[in-house]
């Protein structure tokens, strides 16, 4: 129980219904305060909801941490154009596994958040772009949307408010890049999912070149709670610049991997304690704070507060709070090679630094892991990374270099060790008699 | 093979290069479904991705006929549709098996055994001493027990790794042995239940669902979705009596800011 001013170690908000039987049904959702926030929201002026979201300090849960209320406020009003709300449910950042369980367990919280958000930004059409591989999640979302239509929460004149909203559940088709918001929009328009040059930003020219808000699942699912609880309640959890609860996903070499919803700013040390510590007691070697695109942390970073500021100040990023935990037995160059193979495969091919860079990075890392590398390869890797970081169309390129540069920063000796056997061979005297 | 001359002679989307492809495999019911997909969106072209899932549900892959069909429905050229179909990994360009087995070999799953699982399945499904390759099929495509194998990128179930999917239903916490047993059952025509997801069907059936058609499949919704890992935090909080701070009984929304 919470005493004055103190907050419990775990703060189930988004995950609070997950233990209920048939938690995904409208019946369960309505029994547990479902759609009460919607009634309150529809009785208000849409601008009050945008202000509430700003006051709450809610920041995007898809990785970048952009202030959500500010994003909503960027949508020009009275411009005569249709406005769109697009939910980024294309969860695919390696290590990330929070949105799919959320949508399977409690799809109505997302649907209610969508209706409130669409009302706030004056949008009459919203799309949920879900990763195609998440089939069971797509089923549950479809059913939830259908139930919401039948109950009068979607469609024409919602609950007599005069507000109309249609929602479509849209299955992707297997492309990590579509998690990038402008690639997602192109994909939703029926094209190859390749990022657009920004500006213009989606707030002015998004879906079908109209003003569009693109938000992550966890972000929008938070909205009904903020409407009901208010911004002070939301800010009672987390830290000043990164308030609220957050689903931390622990995976890898940990005794009890899983989803843990805790206040923003919780540390890995605290989370590991809740999760029973390192698997079989083998010490921690490295981890990602928020997916493979966020620079690696080591055992030195166990006490870094995991919020947007804390992770950034320690040289990484909060990302999607996908904590992939690796113990001492795992080779850093091998892990980095595997991630780089992933980025190379998922590079959309649009821009040269990323397309060519990831191709060559893989070649070099594979050669090194095979024992055929040289210390100069490390310089080449860093040089290629330097030509990708900040020089690509989108963040995929930046993400691709994160494991490499951070891996070399903290574990250069492991990369050098891979070159030793090769160096010994090179030093052997040349055979005489060759011609 | 299309020659340059043929392409020049054919007006985009309507010319002989599309007439030459037989789309009769897509009957009136599929045309009707295509129309329903288009109706979901403010702009017709948004229907293309679901429509490609739809044609895949008919043929088990996206063929030239499938491409021509989508192009005709959306008034696009075959080239425009091909460009999209070849971009996404879930659209298969060769006929697939009854089942699609996808093994996550991204770093975390690979470390926990995903690489070993993939290697074991490649070996088992291969022939003549040659392991089965990525997106290759063991058995006659479409027949009972035929399997297309692929290595997949992160499947967003990292707390349950190593994972694999059969027709996009989850089989969690796998080992090379359990994965082999699963695949042998599939080959024998059985359909072992997934850890999370609906009772197993086939690759074509789920492609229809990905196109957004779930008629008669309401029971699928009750297929399990939460593993022990999924609800670990929620269960621990319940056990220890931890909650989020209580919400106030009533809180007013802030005033709307004055219009500048």
Mean pLDDT of B111-122: 98
Dig out the tokens for B65 from the structure: 């006929």
- What residues contact A258, with CB distance under 8 A and at least 6 apart? A249, A250, A275, B159, B228, B229, B230, B231, B232, B233
Measure the CA–CA gap between A369 and A150, rounded to whole angstroms. Answer: 57
**DSSP code per residue over B108-138:** HHIIIIIHHHHHHHHHHH-BTTBPPPTTEEE
**Cα of A429 to nearest chain B Cα, Å:** 38
pLDDT, tens only, A298-353: 999 999 999 999 999 999 999 999 999 999 999 999 999 999 999 999 999 999 99
Dig out the tokens for A229 from the structure: 């609880």
Which DSSP letter does residue A197 get? P
Residues A260 and A10 sit within 8 Å (Cβ to Cβ): yes
Work out how many domains chain A is built from and give that number: 3
Measure the CA–CA gap between A18 and A33, rounded to whole angstroms. Answer: 14
Q: Are residues A289 and A391 in the same domain?
A: no
pLDDT at A429 over 70: no
Q: Are residues A316 and A365 in the same domain?
A: no
Grade residue B12 by pLDDT with cuts at 50, 70 and 90: very low
Say what the pTM is.
0.95
pLDDT, tens only, A102-125: 999 999 999 999 999 999 999 999
Among the partner residues A132, A274, A330, nearest to B90 by beta-carbon distance: A132
Grade residue A422 by pLDDT with cuts at 50, 70 and 90: confident
Among the partner residues B161, B168, B246, nearest to A135 by beta-carbon distance: B168
Residues A37 and A268 sit within 8 Å (Cβ to Cβ): no
Residues A183 and A172 sit within 8 Å (Cβ to Cβ): no
pLDDT, tens only, B207-226: 999 999 999 999 999 999 99
Does B14 lie at the interface with A, CB-CB under 8 angstroms? Answer: no
For strands B99-104 and B147-152, give the pairing.
Answer: parallel
Q: Are residues A268 and A283 in the same domain?
A: yes
Residue showing tokens 């697009």 = A86
Q: Are residues A99 and A226 in the same domain?
A: yes
Kindly determine whether residue B245 and residue A11, on different chains, have CB atoms separated by under 8 Å: yes
Kindly determine whether residue B255 and residue A140, on different chains, have CB atoms separated by under 8 Å: no
**Cα of B150 to nearest chain A Cα, Å:** 13
Secondary structure class of A435 (helix, strand, coil): coil
- Residue A60 is predicted with a pLDDT of 98
pLDDT at A29 over 80: yes
Q: Are residues A228 and A91 in the same domain?
A: yes
Mean pLDDT of A54-60: 98
Grade residue A427 by pLDDT with cuts at 50, 70 and 90: low
- CA torsion angle for B224, B230, B233, B234 (degrees, to 10)? -20
Classify residue A17: in a domain, yes or no.
no
Question: Among candidates B114, B157, B199, B122, which has minimal Cα distance to A341?
Answer: B114
CA distances (Å), A107 to each of A82, B151, B194, in order?
26, 29, 21
Among the partner residues B89, B108, B111, nearest to A174 by beta-carbon distance: B89
CA distances (Å), A142 to each of A170, A184, A372, B221, in order?
9, 20, 51, 10
Kindly determine whether residue A105 and residue B152, on different chains, have CB atoms separated by under 8 Å: no
Mean pLDDT of A78-87: 96
ipTM, two decimals, is: 0.95
pLDDT, tens only, A349-368: 999 999 999 999 999 999 99
Measure the CA–CA gap between B195 and B170, rounded to whole angstroms. Answer: 6
Q: Of A327, A353, A370, at which residue does a domain stop?
A: A327
Kindly determine whether residue A190 and residue B84, on different chains, have CB atoms separated by under 8 Å: yes
Q: Give the A:B interface size as CB pairs under 8 Å.
A: 294
- CA torsion angle for A381, A384, A386, A392 (degrees, to 10)? -140
Residue A200: is the preceding peptide bond cis (ω within 30°)? yes
- Residue A215 is predicted with a pLDDT of 98
- Residue B229 is predicted with a pLDDT of 97
CA distances (Å), A312 to each of A301, B125, B213, in order?
12, 46, 44
- What residues contact B39, with CB distance under 8 A and at least 6 apart? none
Classify residue A280: in a domain, yes or no.
yes
Residues A133 and B155 sit within 8 Å (Cβ to Cβ): yes
pLDDT at B13 over 80: no
Grade residue A426 by pLDDT with cuts at 50, 70 and 90: low
pLDDT, tens only, A59-74: 999 999 999 999 999 9
Measure the CA–CA gap between A369 and A335, rounded to whole angstroms. Answer: 10
- What residues contact A172, with CB distance under 8 A and at least 6 apart? A90, A129, A130, A131, A132, A178, A187, A193, B49, B88, B90
Mean pLDDT of A80-99: 97
CA A38 to chain centre: 26
Classify residue A35: in a domain, yes or no.
yes
* CB atoms inside a 10 Å sphere around CB A258: 25
For strands A245-252 and A258-263, give the pairing.
Answer: antiparallel
Residues B92 and B147 sit within 8 Å (Cβ to Cβ): no
Q: Are residues A209 and A102 in the same domain?
A: yes
pLDDT at A19 over 50: yes
With residue B254 as reference, give the H or E element that holds it.
Answer: none
Q: Are residues A297 and A402 in the same domain?
A: no
* CB atoms inside a 10 Å sphere around CB A200: 13
Kindly determine whether residue A52 and residue B253, on different chains, have CB atoms separated by under 8 Å: yes
- Could you tell me the CATH number of the domain that includes residue A96? 3.40.50.11540
CA distances (Å), A105 to each of A28, A257, B173, B189, B195, in order?
11, 18, 20, 31, 15
What percent of chain A has a predicted confidence (pLDDT) above 90? Answer: 95
Classify residue A110: in a domain, yes or no.
yes
Among the partner residues A169, A275, A345, nearest to B212 by beta-carbon distance: A169
What percent of chain B has a predicted confidence (pLDDT) above 90? Answer: 90
- Could you tell me the CATH number of the domain that includes residue A302? 3.10.20.600
Residues A353 and A361 sit within 8 Å (Cβ to Cβ): no
* CB atoms inside a 10 Å sphere around CB A78: 6
Measure the CA–CA gap between B74 and A368, rounded to whole angstroms. Answer: 49
Contact residues, chain A, for B112 at CB < 8 Å: 252
Q: Are residues A61 and A110 in the same domain?
A: yes
Classify residue A250: in a domain, yes or no.
yes
Among the partner residues B52, B153, B241, nearest to A346 by beta-carbon distance: B153
Classify residue A16: in a domain, yes or no.
no
Classify residue A390: in a domain, yes or no.
yes
- Residue B2 is predicted with a pLDDT of 37
Does A335 lie at the interface with B, CB-CB under 8 angstroms? Answer: yes
pLDDT, tens only, A179-213: 999 999 999 999 999 999 999 999 999 999 999 99
Q: Are residues A203 and A247 in the same domain?
A: no
Does A99 lie at the interface with B, CB-CB under 8 angstroms? Answer: yes
Q: Are residues A225 and A86 in the same domain?
A: yes
Q: Are residues A373 and A403 in the same domain?
A: yes
Measure the CA–CA gap between A360 and A369, rounded to whole angstroms. Answer: 14
Measure the CA–CA gap between A137 and A235, rounded to whole angstroms. Answer: 30
Mean pLDDT of B130-135: 97
Measure the CA–CA gap between A303 and A312, rounded to whole angstroms. Answer: 14
Q: Are residues A275 and A404 in the same domain?
A: no
Alpha helices in A236-331 (DSSP H): 268-274, 308-313
Kindly determine whether residue B46 and residue A188, on different chains, have CB atoms separated by under 8 Å: yes
Question: Among candidates B182, B187, B104, B209, which has minimal Cα distance to B138?
Answer: B187
Residue showing tokens 């989508």 = B70
Grade residue B260 by pLDDT with cuts at 50, 70 and 90: low
Q: Of A177, A205, A236, at which residue does a domain stop?
A: A236
Does B246 lie at the interface with A, CB-CB under 8 angstroms? Answer: yes
pLDDT, tens only, A391-420: 999 999 999 999 999 999 999 999 999 998
Range of the domain at A272: 241-327
Classify residue A435: in a domain, yes or no.
no
**Cα of A111 to nearest chain B Cα, Å:** 17
Grade residue A6 by pLDDT with cuts at 50, 70 and 90: confident
- Could you tell me the CATH number of the domain that includes residue A347? 1.20.1440.230
pLDDT at B4 over 90: no
Half-sphere exposure of A154 (CA within 13 A, CB side): 24
Does B190 lie at the interface with A, CB-CB under 8 angstroms? Answer: no
Dig out the tokens for B30 from the structure: 């599929």
CA distances (Å), B124 to each of A110, B121, B163, in order?
42, 5, 18
Secondary structure class of B149 (helix, strand, coil): strand
* CB atoms inside a 10 Å sphere around CB A201: 16
Q: Of A216, A236, A256, at which residue does a domain stop?
A: A236
């Amino acid at each position: 129980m919470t005493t004055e001013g103190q907050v419990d170690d775990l703060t189930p908000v988004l995950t609070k219904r997950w233990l209920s039987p048939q938690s995904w049904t409208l019946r369960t959702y309505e029994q547990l305060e479902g759609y009460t926030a919607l009634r309150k929201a529809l009785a208000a002026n849409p601008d009050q909801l945008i202000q509430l979201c700003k006051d709450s300090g809610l920041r995007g849960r898809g990785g970048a941490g952009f202030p959500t209320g500010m994003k909503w406020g960027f949508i020009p009003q009275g411009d005569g154009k249709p406005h769109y709300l697009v939910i980024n449910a294309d969860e695919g950042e390696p290590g990330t596994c929070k949105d799919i369980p959320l949508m399977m367990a409690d799809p109505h919280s997302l649907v209610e958040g969508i209706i409130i958000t669409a009302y706030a930004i004056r949008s009459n059409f919203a799309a949920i772009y879900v990763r195609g591989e998440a089939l069971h999640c797509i089923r549950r979302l479809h059913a939830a949307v259908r139930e919401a239509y039948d109950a009068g929460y979607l469609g024409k004149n919602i609950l007599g408010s005069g507000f109309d909203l249609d929602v479509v559940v849209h299955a992707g088709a297997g492309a990590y890049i579509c998690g990038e918001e402008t690639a997602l929009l192109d994909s939703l328009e029926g094209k190859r999912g390749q990022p657009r040059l920004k500006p213009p930003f989606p707030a002015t020219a998004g879906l079908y070149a109209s003003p569009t808000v693109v938000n992550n699942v966890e972000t929008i699912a938070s909205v009904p709670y903020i409407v009901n609880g208010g911004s002070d309640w939301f800010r009672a959890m987390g830290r000043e610049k990164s308030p609220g609860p957050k689903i931390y996903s622990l995976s890898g070499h940990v005794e009890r991997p899983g989803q843990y919803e805790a206040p923003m700013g919780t540390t890995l040390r605290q989370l590991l304690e809740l999760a029973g510590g390192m698997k079989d007691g083998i010490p921690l070697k490295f981890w990602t704070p928020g997916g493979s695109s966020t620079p690696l942390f080591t055992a030195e970073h166990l006490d870094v507060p995991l919020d947007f500021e804390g992770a950034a100040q320690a040289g990484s990023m909060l990302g999607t709070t996908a904590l992939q935990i690796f113990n001492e037995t795992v080779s850093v160059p091998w892990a980095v090679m595997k991630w780089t193979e992933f980025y190379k495969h998922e590079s959309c091919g649009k821009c040269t630094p990323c397309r060519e860079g990831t191709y060559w990075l893989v070649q070099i890392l594979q050669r090194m892991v095979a024992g055929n590398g040289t210390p100069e390869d490390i310089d080449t890797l860093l040089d290629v990374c330097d030509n990708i970081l900040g020089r690509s169309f989108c963040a995929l390129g930046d993400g691709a270099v994160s494991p490499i540069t951070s891996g070399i920063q903290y574990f250069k000796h492991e990369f050098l060790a891979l070159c030793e056997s090769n160096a010994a061979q090179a030093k052997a005297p040349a055979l005489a008699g060759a011609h | 093979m299309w020659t340059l001359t043929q392409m020049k002679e054919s007006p985009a989307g309507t010319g002989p290069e599309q007439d030459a492809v037989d789309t009769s495999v897509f009957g009136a019911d599929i045309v009707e479904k295509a129309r329903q997909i288009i109706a979901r969106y403010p702009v017709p072209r948004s229907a293309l991705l679901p429509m490609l899932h739809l044609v895949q549900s008919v043929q088990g892959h996206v063929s030239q006929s499938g491409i021509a069909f989508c192009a005709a429905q959306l008034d696009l050229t075959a080239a425009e549709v091909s460009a999209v179909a070849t971009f996404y990994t879930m659209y298969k360009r060769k006929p697939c098996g009854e089942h699609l087995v996808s093994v996550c070999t991204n770093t975390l799953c690979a470390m926990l055994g995903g690489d070993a699982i993939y290697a074991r399945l490649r070996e088992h499904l291969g022939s003549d001493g040659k392991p089965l390759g990525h997106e290759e099929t063991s058995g006659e495509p479409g027949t009972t027990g035929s399997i297309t194998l692929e290595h997949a990128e992160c499947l967003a179930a990292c707390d349950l790794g190593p994972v694999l999917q059969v027709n996009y239903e989850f089989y969690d916490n796998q080992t090379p042995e359990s994965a082999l047993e699963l695949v042998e059952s599939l080959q024998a025509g059985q359909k072992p239940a997934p850890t999370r997801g609906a009772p197993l069907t086939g690759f074509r059936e789920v492609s229809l669902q990905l196109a957004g058609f779930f008629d008669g499949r309401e029971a699928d919704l009750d297929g399990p979705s939460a593993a022990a890992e999924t609800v670990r935090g929620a269960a621990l909080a319940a056990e220890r009596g931890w909650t989020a701070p209580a919400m106030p009984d009533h809180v007013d929304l802030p005033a709307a800011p004055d219009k500048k």
